[in-house]
């Protein structure tokens, strides 16, 4: 009797009056066998999940890092634009906006630029009204206001930024702090515009105060949607507690990177009137952010990492504000032709100046008259450098370096390609100075962009396009040389929010939870006391993730990763087709699965386990052979209006869509969200020439006409970019995800802002698209 | 022809093993941490008991166990396991029967306490962590019971790779 198992009990059945078994007592041996069986199964199941988790992670990381290489393309393209226009043309001024250095000696002019006093705050404004100097209550109120989704008025934003700039200017390149003053120091990693995570950190750990010191280790902005709010909070606390709050610059504190990764767009969207000014000021502020923090002379905190040439003494001496963007090394002072002065900038932007907004509305890459640009453009080519531009020696060097960089993108930023043979002896002084600048630039790049690797050594970081991969021996040498014991860095997303490597001498701390997708990872922060022993706190914003099981989290993340991967496949469709056809010489339309795998890794250059992904990406095969035309058809369908457009054109557009979007936003000088028909055509033509593609005039014209759906001569940038979402034919037909086998277990993609399930089939999250 | 196909079969198996191994080869140097071997073998569709796993590891470890396993040692052993269909999967219906055996009163469900007792004390015991993880996947939160039939369906639903 009874319901427990007794060891050594006999096999014994009890029946009810109908002859049904109601209980069975079984022998211990059978119990053990049953247990073993279940255990074996369960461990097998867990192993399969683990495998999927690993390669899902790999997908996200590969694509993220590969995407950063597009930054180099953008940089090169913009450089090409600069090179190919005469000094007198309007375009040059526009492009040089991006590349301008901020002159130190013109501080007074900059203070004028920060002038907020003429901006009026309407009575109806219910957000925080800041008074300076700020106090702790105001900082706390600011946090509360942002938590309630309020927006700080641009007047206060500019005022706050102005005060921040004044403070940052007097800070050293390397903050040196000590645990003896505030007992414990809290270090946070990447936040990437995820306000919820910062609020969670403050909730768990308390806000900064005299007793609570914080170090924020860079990458405050981009990707997430509340980057400006995070910045304002951090700057406010910096102003209130300058001795306790320390900010390190990250690689995303960079205006060119911001153009691509969403911060620029966010600011312009939230601050329609003064957004551009705010961005200009932030450009300056970013360049003034300190580069590193050292605790008790023993722990180095830096955003990326180090290299085998990192020299903290040198880093402490550089003029860090000269290095405005990682993607543009500083030009030498001698060459003036590229830069407009700060003065002319300000004149353009100050409200009430003689250049009104209306006059500048049509300033663009084209000339004021609609068509002549086209003819004159046609005479230009990538090779045609010498025709109209007078160059200095330095500019020539720059161009050659960039030319070399175009063929070897990975080396463009971290190697010096000085063509010494073309220099005469008298220019050797300027060469030295140039080398110095290059060297300093490399030091900073290494600090902000590097990643640790497992083997010994130090190699350029070609995946990211900047900084190095550094090994345990480099860490060892560095720590010995500087008498330190630990490097704390961020820059890489980690599933548990933090991770040690190099024999626990390097710690990665990452504070943006759910970075790739809801449920993908936890965030963490670390506390150090006088014993310098790290103490971690992990968290995950979004209450829903806590209720999801590991399995559901994995499903969701995997679904996202595969969606992202399919977009990549689609973007490389032409190349993949060629590769498939290579394996299908007899044109049967079929290739083996093994050949499919080879083609994928050959074309995509993504280090992924293609064999494993096969089952997720291919659903029907006949006799182990894949009908690749059909496979592509199932991958996506195009928008009806584009059906007649050449495949190659669409593919190329798709592949470069991020770069295109960035350029459009630059061209859209008044931030209206629209660019003219003509500007779009010109931009596209320039990209076409730069990429040396063979796309006909008619194709481009057709494309432009079909995009301009309301026929008013303007193209809505957002709408245009939206049309690149993929639609999976199978998804539409079956109303169910291709990858979810048991949809009842899966909550489905959720709209993150409202936590409501999306309305299918036209929601964005699931990759569906309603025709515009 | 049969020979060719046989050879092709062998190379397919080897590629499969290579792929699985590579996912866990973090340093890209043809080695994996020995603690991941179990996961790799299982991800290749095999169902070793802990004892069988130990045997395999003993066979492929270095003479001086260094915490890692090299691919060149892993490949022949793993190939043999796959070609000879060793460490075979357990048929799904046996898995269901195993649960039914533990469910003496034929209730159709199990208490988390009793299941935990079995799985952490009998056979190849689960660690506390493994047990908690399994419960989070298997437990019906409202009723606080494990409806094992559903759980078995879930575990067996994913096609083995």
CA nearest to B146, candidates B92, B117, B104, B108:
B108
Strands A506-509, A486-489: parallel, antiparallel or unpaired by DSSP?
parallel
CB distance A54–B47 less than 8 Å? no
Chain A segment 607-626 residues within 8 A of B by beta carbon are 609-612, 615
Contact A609 B133 (CB under 8 A): no
* Number of C-beta neighbours around residue A225 at 10 A: 17
Check A3 against B105: CB less than 8 A apart: yes
Report DSSP letters for A324-365, one per residue: -BTTBPPPPTT--TTPPPHHHHHHHHSTTSSS-HHHHTT-SS
| A29 part of contact set with chain B, CB < 8 Å | no
Among the listed residues B131, B46, B160, B147, the one whose alpha carbon sits nearest the alpha carbon of residue B99: B147
Nearest to A728 by CA among A738, A719, A717: A738
Q: Is A303 within 8 Å of A249 (Cβ atoms)?
A: yes
**A642 token code pair:** 């584009």
- A463 closest CA partner among A157, A45, A62: A62
Query: Residues A199, A471: contact at Cβ < 8 Å?
Result: no
Which chain B residues have a beta carbon less than 8 Å from that of A26? 101, 104
Residue labelled with tokens 């900047």? A466
Using CB atoms, which residue from A30, A40, A48 is nearest to B158? Answer: A48
Cβ separation A34–B101 shorter than 8 A: yes
A459: helix, strand or coil:
strand
Secondary element (H or E) of residue A228 = helix A227-240
How far B159 CA lies from chain A's nearest CA (Å)? 9
Instruction: Enumerate the β-bridge partners of residue A622.
Output: A625
Nearest chain B Cα distance for residue A594, angstroms: 9
**Could you tell me the two tokens for A293?**
């923090």
Measure A5 CA to nearest chain B CA, in Å.
8
Residues 6+ apart with CB under 8 A from A145: A127, A128, A152
Decide if B61 contacts A92 (C-beta within 8 A): no
Sheet-wide strand order for A458-460: A451-452, A468-470, A458-460
- Find tokens 């450089």 and name the residue: A79
Nearest CA in chain A to B22: A609
Helices and strands per DSSP (H, E), number in chain B: 8, 4
Q: Look up residue A363 and give its two tokens.
A: 């300033």
CB contact under 8 A, A745 and B15: no
Task: Give the three-class secondary structure for A301.
Answer: strand
Cα A218 to Cα A214, A254, A493, B21: the distances in Å are: 12, 11, 13, 35
* ipTM for the assembly: 0.89
Q: Which residue has the higher pLDDT, B54 or A9?
A: B54
Q: Does A21 touch chain B (CB under 8 A)?
A: yes
Through-space distance between the first and last CA atoms of chain A, rounded to whole angstroms: 70
For B52, the enclosing helix (H) or strand (E) is helix B50-60
Low-confidence ranges of chain A (pLDDT < 50): 1-10, 86-91, 94, 97-105, 332-397, 399-400, 403-427, 637-642, 726-772
**Which of B20, B39, B127, B151 has the most A C-beta neighbours within 10 Å, making it the best mutation to test the interface with A?**
B39
Helix (H, G, I), strand (E, B) or coil at A634: helix
Cβ–Cβ of A594/B126 closer than 8 Å? no
With residues binned 3-state (H G I as helix, E B as strand, rest as coil), the percentages for chain A, rounded to 5, are 50, 10, 40
Contacts of A48 in chain B (CB under 8 A): 42-43, 158, 160-161
A30 in contact with B, Cβ within 8 Å: yes
> Contacts of residue A609 in chain B, CB cutoff 8 Å?
19-20, 22-23
CA distance A264 to A255: 8
Q: Min CA distance, A591 vs chain B (Å)? A: 16
Judge: A550–B104 Cβ closer than 8 Å, yes or no.
no
Given A246, A252, A255, A274, the catalytic residue:
A252
Cβ neighbourhood burial of A182 (10 Å; 0-12, 13-18, 19+): buried
Question: A449 by DSSP, 3-state: which?
Answer: helix
Task: Look up residue A744 and give its DSSP letter.
Answer: G
Angstroms from B77 CA to nearest CA on chain A: 19
Mapped onto helix, strand or coil, the DSSP state of residue A768 is coil
Report which of A506, A502, A496 is spatially closest to residue A472, judged by C-alpha positions: A502
In this complex, is the C-beta atom of A496 within 8 Å of any C-beta atom belonging to chain B?
no
Say how many CB pairs under 8 Å bridge A and B.
138
B contact test, residue of A4, A33, A38, A601 with most B CBs within 10 A:
A38
Query: Can you tell me whether residue A726 is helix, strand or coil?
Result: coil
Contact A745 B42 (CB under 8 A): no
Identify which of A37, A40, A609 has the shortest CB distance to residue B19.
A609
CB contact under 8 A, B155 and A42: yes
Q: Nearest by CB to B90, which of A22, A35, A37?
A: A37
8 Å CB contact between A474 and A457: yes
Q: Measuring CA to CA, which residue among A416, A462, A466, A413 is closest to residue A436?
A: A416
8 Å CB contact of A58 and B134: no
Give the separation between CA A641 and CA A709, rounded to whole angstroms.
10
Is A609 in contact with B23 (Cβ distance < 8 A)? Answer: yes
Q: Say if residues A520 and A52 touch (Cβ distance below 8 Å).
A: no
A644 tagged catalytic: no
- First-to-final CA distance of chain B: 27
The A residues from 587 to 606 touching B (CB cutoff 8 Å) are 594
- Residues recorded for chain B: 161
- d(C-alpha A517, C-alpha A520), whole Å: 5
Rg, C-alpha atoms of chain B: 19
- Tell me how close the Cα of A38 comes to any Cα of chain B, in angstroms: 6
Q: Is A238 exposed, middle or buried (0-12, 13-18, 19+ CB in 10 A)?
A: buried
Of B12, B39, B122, the CB nearest to A31: B122
A615: closest chain B residue by CA: B161
Asked if A44 and B42 come within 8 Å (Cβ–Cβ), the reply is yes
| Rounded Cα–Cα distance for residues A230 and A150 (Å) | 13
Chain B CB contacts of A37 below 8 Å: 90, 94-95, 98
Q: Give the H or E element holding residue A627.
A: strand A625-627
**How far does the CA of residue B113 sit from the closest CA of chain A (Å)?**
11
Chain A residues 543-562 with a CB less than 8 Å from chain B: 549-551
Q: Are B31 and B68 in contact (CB under 8 A)?
A: yes
Closest residue of chain A to B45, computed from CA coordinates: A44
Rounded CA separation A15/A620 (Å): 50
CA-CA distance, A225 to A162, in Å (whole number)?
23
| Predicted TM-score (pTM) of this structure | 0.65
Inter-chain residue contact A22 with B130, CB threshold 8 Å: no
* Contact call for A455 and B29, based on CB within 8 A: yes
């Amino acid at each position: 009797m009874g319901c427990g198992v007794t060891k050594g009990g006999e096999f014994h059945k009890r029946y009810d009056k109908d002859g049904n078994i109601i209980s069975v007592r079984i022998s211990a041996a059978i119990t053990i066998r049953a247990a073993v069986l279940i255990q074996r199964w369960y461990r097998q199941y867990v192993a399969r999940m683990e495998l999927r988790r690993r390669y899902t992670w790999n997908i996200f990381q590969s694509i993220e890092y590969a995407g950063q290489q597009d930054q180099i393309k953008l940089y090169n393209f913009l450089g090409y634009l600069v090179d190919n226009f005469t000094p007198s043309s309007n375009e040059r001024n526009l492009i040089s906006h991006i590349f301008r250095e901020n002159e130190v000696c013109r501080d007074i002019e900059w203070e004028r630029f920060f002038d907020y006093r003429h901006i009026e705050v309407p009575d109806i404004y219910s957000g925080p009204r800041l008074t300076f100097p700020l106090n702790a209550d105001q900082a706390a109120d600011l946090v509360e206001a942002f938590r309630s989704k309020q927006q700080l008025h641009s007047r206060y934003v500019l005022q706050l930024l102005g005060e921040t700039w004044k403070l940052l200017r007097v800070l050293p390149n390397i903050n040196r702090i000590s645990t003896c003053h505030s007992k414990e120091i809290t270090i946070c990693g990447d936040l990437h515009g995820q306000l919820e995570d910062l609020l969670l950190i403050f909730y768990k750990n308390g806000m900064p105060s005299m007793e609570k010191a914080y170090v924020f280790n860079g990458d405050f902005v981009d990707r997430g949607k509340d980057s400006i709010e995070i910045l304002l909070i951090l700057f406010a606390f910096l102003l209130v507690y300058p001795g306790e709050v320390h900010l390190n610059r990250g690689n995303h504190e960079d205006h060119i990177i911001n153009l691509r990764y969403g911060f620029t767009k966010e600011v312009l969207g939230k601050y329609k009137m003064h957004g551009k000014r705010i961005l200009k000021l932030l450009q300056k502020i970013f360049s003034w952010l300190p580069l590193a923090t050292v605790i008790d002379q023993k722990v180095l905190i830096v955003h990326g990492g180090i290299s085998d040439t990192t020299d903290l003494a040198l880093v402490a001496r550089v003029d860090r504000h000269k290095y405005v963007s990682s993607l543009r090394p500083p030009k030498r002072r001698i060459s003036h032709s590229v830069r407009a002065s700060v003065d002319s900038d300000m004149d353009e932007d100050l409200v009430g100046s003689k250049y009104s907004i209306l006059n500048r509305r049509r300033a663009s890459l084209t000339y004021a008259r609609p068509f002549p640009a086209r003819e004159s453009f046609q005479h230009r080519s990538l090779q045609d450098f010498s025709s109209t531009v007078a160059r200095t020696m330095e500019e020539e060097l720059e161009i050659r370096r960039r030319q070399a960089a175009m063929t070897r993108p990975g080396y463009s930023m971290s190697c010096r390609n000085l063509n010494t043979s073309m220099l005469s002896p008298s220019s050797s002084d300027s060469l030295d100075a140039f080398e110095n600048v290059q060297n300093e630039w490399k030091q900073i790049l290494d600090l902000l962009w590097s990643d640790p690797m497992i083997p010994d050594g130090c190699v350029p970081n070609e995946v990211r396009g900047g900084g190095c991969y550094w090994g345990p021996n480099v860490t060892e040498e560095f720590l010995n040389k500087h008498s330190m014991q630990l490097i704390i860095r961020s820059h890489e997303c980690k599933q548990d929010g933090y991770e040690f490597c190099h024999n626990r001498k390097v710690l990665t701390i990452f504070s943006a939870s759910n970075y790739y997708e809801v449920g993908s990872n936890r965030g963490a922060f670390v506390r150090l006391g006088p014993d310098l022993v790290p103490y971690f706190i992990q968290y995950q914003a979004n209450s829903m993730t806590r209720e999801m099981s590991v399995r559901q989290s994995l499903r969701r993340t995997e679904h996202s990763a595969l969606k992202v991967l399919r977009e990549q496949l689609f973007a490389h469709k032409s190349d993949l087709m060629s590769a498939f056809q290579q394996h299908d010489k007899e044109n049967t339309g079929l290739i083996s699965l093994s050949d499919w795998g080879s083609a994928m890794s050959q074309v995509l250059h993504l280090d992924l386990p293609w064999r494993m992904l096969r089952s997720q990406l291919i659903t029907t095969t006949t006799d182990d052979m894949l009908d690749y035309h059909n496979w592509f058809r199932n991958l996506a369908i195009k928008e009806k209006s584009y059906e007649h457009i050449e495949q190659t054109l669409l593919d190329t557009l798709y592949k470069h869509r991020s770069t295109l979007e960035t350029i459009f936003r630059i061209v859209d000088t008044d931030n209206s969200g629209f660019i003219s028909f003509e500007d779009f055509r010109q931009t596209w033509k320039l990209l076409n020439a730069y990429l040396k593609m063979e796309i006909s005039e008619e194709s481009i014209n057709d494309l432009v006409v079909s995009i301009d759906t309301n026929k008013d001569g303007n193209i809505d940038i957002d709408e245009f970019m939206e049309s690149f979402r993929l639609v999976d034919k199978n998804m539409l037909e079956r109303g169910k995800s291709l990858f979810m086998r048991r949809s009842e277990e899966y909550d489905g993609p959720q709209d993150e802002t409202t936590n409501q399930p999306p309305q299918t089939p036209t929601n964005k999250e699931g990759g569906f698209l309603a025709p515009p | 022809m049969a020979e060719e196909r046989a050879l092709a079969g062998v190379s397919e198996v080897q590629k499969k093993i290579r792929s699985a191994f590579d996912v866990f080869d973090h340093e890209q140097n043809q080695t994996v941490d020995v603690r991941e071997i179990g996961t790799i073998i299982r991800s290749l569709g095999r169902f070793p008991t802990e004892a069988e796993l130990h045997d395999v590891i003993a066979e492929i470890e270095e003479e001086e166990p260094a915490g890692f396993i090299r691919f060149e040692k892993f490949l022949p052993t793993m190939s043999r396991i796959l070609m000879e269909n060793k460490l075979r999967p357990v048929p799904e219906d046996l898995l269901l029967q195993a649960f039914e055996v533990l469910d003496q009163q034929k209730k159709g469900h199990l208490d988390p306490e009793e299941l935990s007792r079995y799985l952490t004390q009998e056979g190849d015991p689960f660690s506390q962590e493994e047990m908690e993880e399994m419960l989070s996947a298997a437990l019906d939160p409202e009723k606080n019971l494990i409806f094992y039939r559903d759980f078995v369906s879930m575990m067996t639903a994913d096609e083995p790779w």
